[in-house]
Amino acid sequence: MLKIKNLKSSIGEKEILKGINLNVKPGEIHAVMGRNGSGKSTLANMIAGKETARITAGSIVYKGEDLNEKTPEERAMDGIFLSFQYPVAIPGVNITYFLKEALNAKRRYFGKNELDAATFLKRIKEKLELVDLDVSFIKRSLNEGFSGGEKKRNEILQMLMLEPDLAILDETDSGLDIDALKTIAQGIQKYKSPQRSFIIITHYPRLLNYVKPDMVHILIEGKIVKSGGPELAIMLEEKGYTWIEKK
């Protein structure tokens, strides 16, 4: 699904990612853990095609194709989804309208008809239930005045609607209370399938109690210093990052 080879990137003169290797197969859940500032969001943004950071070496290959030449829209069409750490507000644009635009853009791209209003509504109602949101929610302006929890649920709602093959969740668990965390975890569990892959970025092992990862990677200062199974997350929870840094 996704192969990242020796990826190096810089913002301005500063090197942020210093040779990342990552191999995500269909159906796998990978957790990327690391402290603030270690480069997790930069990695996520680069997969999605944001140009803040510049690739200086290495490659990102998705479904057998180098992503380098692809625009963010093309990557989205091909099934890459990023649940943003800080979802931006778009005042005056309600969720219904936004999601319709997004869904129909994708359908047009694949030569399908636009979705009719009734089907759309039926589908979104099902997904709303999964993330425990009321129907009235979709009339609100995108991320405007949303609580932290609402923002994250909305990201998961979009994931469920857009049906990506690779979902990157950038700290979707941060700042959530335990109920919201469980809801989000449930959304992920429901969405999981042998064809779909996840990269779950987090700096707490909390979410991983509910969604079991196949692999855990620990990112420190732009490098994956350790990879392992779910037990790595548990070790981290007990001993903290300093334990790894000391080694």
Partner 1 sequence: MSQSLDILEKRIEQDYQYGFVTDIEQETLSPGLDEDVIRFISEKKNEPEWLLKWRIKSFNGWKKMTEPSWANLQYPLINFQDISYFAAPKKKKELKSLDEVDPQLLETYNKLGIPLEEQKMLAGVAVDAVFDSVSVTTTFKKELASHGIIFCSFSEAVQSHPELIKKYLGSVVPATDNFYAALNSAVFSDGSFVYIPKGVRCPMELSTYFRINAANTGQFERTLIIADEGSQVSYLEGCTAPMRDENQLHAAVVELIAHRDAEIKYSTVQNWYPGDEKGRGGIFNFVTKRGICLEENSKISWTQVETGSAVTWKYPSVILKGDNSKGEFYSVAMTNNFQQADTGTKMIHLGKNTTSTIISKGISAGKSQNTYRGEVKIMKNADNARNYSQCDSILIGKECGAHTFPYIDVRNATAQMEHEATTSNIGEDQIFYCNQRGISEENAVSLIVNGFCKDVFAKLPMEFAVEANKLMEVSLEGSVG
Ligand X SMILES: Nc1ncnc2c1ncn2[C@@H]1O[C@H](COP(=O)(O)OP(=O)(O)O)[C@@H](O)[C@H]1O
Of 104 and 227, CB closest to ligand X: 227
The answer to whether residue 115 forms part of the interface with partner 1 (CB under 8 A) is no
Least Å from the CB of residue 88 to ligand X:
14
38 exposure class (CB count in 10 Å sphere: 0-12, 13-18, 19+):
buried
> ∠ CA(206), CA(211), CA(214), 5° rounding?
110
The answer to whether residue 81 forms part of the interface with partner 1 (CB under 8 A) is yes
The answer to whether residue 88 forms part of the interface with partner 1 (CB under 8 A) is yes
The answer to whether residue 85 forms part of the interface with partner 1 (CB under 8 A) is no
Rounded to whole angstroms, what are the CA distances from 105 to 76, 91, 108, 226, 234? 10, 21, 5, 39, 41
Strand partners, 218: 33, 226
The answer to whether residue 202 forms part of the interface with ligand X (CB under 6 A) is no
Q: Specify the residue for token string 């791209």.
A: 109
Please choose, out of 35-43, 61-69, 89-97, 204-212, the segment that lies near partner 1 by the rule CB under 8 A.
89-97
Of 128 and 167, CB closest to ligand X: 167
Residues touching partner 1, count (CB under 8 A): 30
How many residues appear in the chain?
Answer: 247
φ and ψ at residue 185, rounded to 5 degrees: -60, -40
The answer to whether residue 68 forms part of the interface with partner 1 (CB under 8 A) is no
Query: Tokens for 65?
Result: 């194709």
What's at 225, amino acid-wise? V
Query: Tokens for 133?
Result: 């949101």
Please choose, out of 10-18, 72-80, 116-124, 217-225, the segment that lies near partner 1 by the rule CB under 8 A.
72-80
The binder of ligand X chosen from 6, 25, 52, 237 (CB under 6 A): 52
What's the distance, CA 119 to chain centroid?
Answer: 26
Residues that bind ligand X (CB under 6 A): 11, 16, 34, 36-42, 52
**Which stretches of the chain bind partner 1, using CB under 8 A?**
48-52, 71-73, 75-77, 81-82, 84, 87-88, 90-93, 97-98, 101-102, 105-106, 109, 141, 158, 162
